Structures are given as C-alpha cells and as structure tokens.
Amino acid sequence: SNNEISVPLQYVTDNYATPNKQYYGVAHKKNVIVIHLESFQQFLINMKVNGQEVTPFLNSLYGNKNTVSFDNFFHEVGQGKTSDAETMLESGLFGLPTGSFFTKMGPTNTFQSAPAILGQTQGYTSAVFHGNVGSFYSRDSVYKNMGYNYFFDQQYFDVGPDTNVGFGLKDKLFFAESTKYLEKLQQPFYAKFITLTNHYSFDLPEMDNDGFVKPATTSKVVNNYFETAHYLDASLREFFDYLRASGLYDKSMIILYGDHYGISDDKIAALAPLMNKEQADWNEFDTAQMQRVPFMIHMKGIKGKVDNTYGGEIDVLPTLLHLLGINNQKYLQFGSDLFSKDHDKTVIFRNGNFINKNYTSLKNSKGSYNVYDNTTGQLINLSADPELNEKITKIATKKQQIMTMSDDINSKNLLRFYTPTGFKPVDPSDYEYTDEVS
Ligand code: GP9
Ligand code: MN
C-alpha cells in the first residue's frame, strides 16, 4: 500500500548522494549507447594468453584519455544473470535472489526506469538491440513496461545457416546489421546492445576465429571463454569503426559493462595458473575477487582515468542520470552516483556477501561472515578484534536493509503507489515491437 512505500522513500531522501560538479551534465543531450558485454569479467582486460592480448580493442579503451574505467566494479546478480543485470541498470532496483526478475515480475510490475526517465525529461528515443528471440526472459513485454520505444530482436536480423551460435546472432553480424536501424533513430537516443556470443558454453565456429590461440587449462569451458571474449572484442572494434565513420561517435556517450561472471565457481580454480596462482590454494576470497566486471564510460571530451572507486551494477543508473544532468533525487533507486563524494563504497552481492576497499565479507555456514583482509587475502580472526566485528556487523545490517527495501518494492510492486513528481506512468499499450521500421 501507500504506507509501505514511505520507508524506502525516506531512505532514498536521507541517503541522497549529491552530484559531483565535475561530471554532472557532461553528457547532456548526447546519445547514450550501452553495450552489454555478455559474461565478461574484468580479469580479461589487459590479459595476455600465449603472448597474445585477449581483448586488444577493450584494452585500447581502458585507460584511454576519453574513458573513465572502473577497476573495482562488481556484478550483483543472482540466478537471473542477464535479466537481473538489466533490471539493475534500467531501474536502479536489485534483481531477485532466485529466478529471473524479468520472467517472474517484469511483465506485471510498474517501472520508473531509464528509457521512460530519459524520454520524458529530455526527449530521448529508446531502443534495445538483441540477437535472440524477443520472448526470451519475456523481454518483449518487460521492455514495454519500461517504456522502450523499439526492441530490435532476432526477427529484425537476417538469420541463416551460418549466422547464429548459441542463443542467437553472432556479435559481429549483430552489430553490423543493427546499424541500419540505429541510424534511423531520432536523436538523442538511448540504445542498448546486448551481445551474445561470449555466452556459456563459449563455442565459436572455426570460421570466426581470426587466429587466436586458446589457453590450455584443465577446463575446456575456461579455454573456450577466452576465444569468444576475443571475438566479442573484435566485434566491438568493428562497431566503433562504424560509429566513427557515421559521425555518431562524436555525438554519443558509450557505456560498456560486463553483466556477470562467465566462469562459474565450480570451474574458476582452473584459471589459477593464468593468474599466477596455485590451483590448490584457490579459495572463496579469490573467487569473490573474480566477480569484478568492466564498467567504462567513453566519450569524446570526458577526462579519462582508471577510477578505483568500489561500486556495482546498482550504481549505474544514478551515475548515468547525473552524467546526463538529470537529478535522481525523486526516484526510488538504491545505488548511488559513483562520482559523488557521498557514494556508498560498500558493494553488496545478491547473496548477501559484501566487499569494500579493505574487507571482503563472505557468509559462512554458521550464519556469520568470514572476513578477509583485501591486502593480504588472509582471513581475519574477528573474535580477537571486537571493534572490527561490530563495524562489519553494522555494514552488513545496513546493506541487508537496503536490499530488503528494494526486494519489497519489486515483490509487492510498490512503484504503482508512488509516482515521482512530473513523471508520467508508463502505459505498455503505447508500444508495439513489430518489424515495420525497416
Ligand atoms: C539470452 C541472453 C543470456 O537472450 O541474454 O542470458 P543469461 O543466460 O546470461 O542470463
Ligand atoms: Mn548474461
């Protein structure tokens, strides 16, 4: 009811992170191109295998003078993977502890999310591009609830015997074929590209390997992962070439992010030799560190740097809104602007584990936390340090409360009881995604 929304509303009011003047509005009225890097983990950046860079193009963006790259940015998804990464980025609310948010609640919930906010406040046209069928994860109905103007799903692309792998269109073809739709969109636009080829089980047809030599770890999945990541990287180079040639590059801010891990916990120790570690010594602390994913903001005119701020997917929407010069104060979003001095620098994972600059806190079977010192990787004996113990408990309680508020909003569909001033509720019947634009 109306009452239930008052607690989270009070929370966001009390915890508002004021914008950083240096970044607020720097991307005002620029096109926003969000590139969802499927299953892409941060450790791939600047990594070499057999003397060869795995992702030479992303490496050239990372640390580029026009890219702000975060190196302590974490995915925060549960089982819902892509769906729940999208949920966080679009709505500023967490996904689900089990199952997919898109499938379970996306078709029926009320949203105040990026496409509608950008559309209503600054006249943005919005579009999603994805090479799988539109019904997967109920995207075709969720996007309407979010207020997406267009959804270019597999029906918009040329599909033939050699065009698909896994869930759908290969990334290079996907980007190449998307351009004819992208250049017809009214500007400014907010366009999201969800890549696919770097998805489990990471199988790349022979014809798409440009000479990359896979590593030889004990896991076939791990070896394959590098090959599809390399292919995804090459597809990005081609897309950027197009953006430059078409002139869109100069008018756009490009955001790249990894949605979640590609290598699951049960296979991750196979990576050890490539990370200069002993496979036998690999532990839960190492696994937690591997949940870093890229988050990069690339734009002509932005002052590039590698930013060490700790953050996660829940923080993207507040950050994006502030870059565009849209104040996020009246919206129910549970992350905070990464550039703000008030940014909450502890990242909570969907399973309740949390991490910040100093400590990695992982739930144990006794219902408390194993707390590791990030600099040494050593488990801390908390009973010998009651002060730290109390500090950790405090953070855990606060983070858990935040997640519970977000979960309440989603599970009870509470946004239907709150409409921010000036925001017009989205009517999904205003949107139709058929192949008519072409
Ligand atoms: C499917 C794709 C994959 O269309 O987005 O989702 P995931 O398996 O990563 O959750
Ligand atoms: Mn995914």
pLDDT digits (tens, 9 = 90+) for 71-106: 999 999 999 999 999 999 999 999 999 999 999 999
Helix 114-122 / helix 316-324 crossing angle, nearest 10 deg: 10
Give residue-wise pLDDT tens across range 36-62.
999 999 999 999 999 999 999 999 999
User: Which of 252, 296, 247, 233 has the alpha carbon at shortest distance from 32?
Assistant: 252
Dump pLDDT digits (tens) for 283-336.
999 999 999 999 999 999 999 999 999 999 999 999 999 999 999 999 999 999
Q: Which of 174-178, 199-203, 434-438 has the lowest mean pLDDT?
A: 434-438
pLDDT for res 435: 63
Separation CA 50–CA 212 (nearest Å): 9
Cα 287 to middle of ligand 1, angstroms:
22
- Give the nearest ligand 1 atom to 100 CA: 10
| Whether the bond into 91 is cis, omega within 30 of 0 | no
Annotated binding residue at 82? Answer: yes
- Residue 222 in contact with ligand 1 by CB distance below 6 A: no
Mean pLDDT check: name the lowest of 70-84, 184-198, 386-400, 423-437.
423-437
Q: Which pair of structure tokens corresponds to residue 216?
A: 């030889």
Half-sphere exposure of 388 (CA within 13 A, CB side): 16
Say if residue 259 carries a ligand binding annotation.
yes
8 A C-beta contact, residue 17 and residue 429 = no
Q: Is the pLDDT of residue 438 over 50?
A: no
Is 82 a known active-site residue? Answer: yes
CB 293 within 8 A of CB 258: yes
- Residue 368 burial (10 A CB sphere; 0-12, 13-18, 19+): middle
Q: Report the greatest alpha carbon distance in the chain.
A: 67
pLDDT of 134 > 50? The answer is yes
Tell me, what's the pLDDT at 434? 84
Closest CA to 158 of 144, 173, 137, 143: 173
ipTM of the complex as predicted: 0.99
Rounded CA-CA distance 162/96 in Å is 36
Residue 190 has pLDDT above 50, yes or no: yes
pLDDT tens digit sequence for 198-251: 999 999 999 999 999 999 999 999 999 999 999 999 999 999 999 999 999 999
Q: What percent of the chain has pLDDT over 90?
A: 98
Report residue 152 as tokens.
Answer: 């270019």
Pocket test for ligand 1, best of 38, 39, 76 (most atoms within 8 A of CB): 38
